[in-house]
Amino acid sequence: MSYPELYVLRHGETEWNVTGKFQGRQDSPLTAQGRQHAQRQRELLQTLTTPPLTAFCSPQGRARHTAQLALGGTLKPVFDDRLQEIDFGVWEGKTRLEIKTLIDCPFESHQWYFQSPKGESYADISKRVKAFLNDLVQPAVIVTHGVTSIVLRGLYLGLSKGALLQLPKEQGCIYHLSDGQERVLR
């Protein structure tokens, strides 16, 4: 399936990002660096020759704050629950070190993202993100989260689960998706 052109923003750095805690459906505020990430995304959006007229955003606080700063009032985002971060279940609030002791696969493979007790599976998150993508009818800015971003981008690009888990999850940049290709705007 072919999707419209997208500009995908991951929220700016949060306090929990700094301490290595996994947020999932929990929230922590943007840091000063996180606010700078969103400002950089705003600068990048302002360089677009033909910016999208539509924006969508996760309803979670860190994404909302990023959207407010990055969109600068030029676009009012539509908040969509399908863009929320993956539900990490009982692992939310745990650190990388704690999670490493709880998983039975290599940490670097990131397969564990979809294995947390009472959390979302790959099938769960893929289903909701695919439904979101299928509803898009025009180019858009998307403000979301790290894992949700790689699932969205991977589905857009037609990647396997293993391949999408290797996609970067940088903050302060924009992932431009067009015609089945990805380009990172920095």
CA-wise closest residue to 141 among 34, 68, 36, 61: 68
Q: Which of 11, 37, 65, 110 is catalytic?
A: 11
Question: Residue 62 is encoded by which pair of tokens?
Answer: 């860190």
Nearest to 110 by CA among 118, 101, 100, 120: 100
Cα 46 to Cα 172: distance, rounded to the nearest angstrom: 14
Of 37, 65, 110, 145, which residue is the catalytic one? 145
Concerning whether 11 is annotated as a catalytic residue, the answer is yes
Which tokens sit at 166? 């290797």
Report the alpha-carbon distance of residue 51 to residue 49 in Å, rounded.
6
Q: Active-site positions?
A: 11, 145
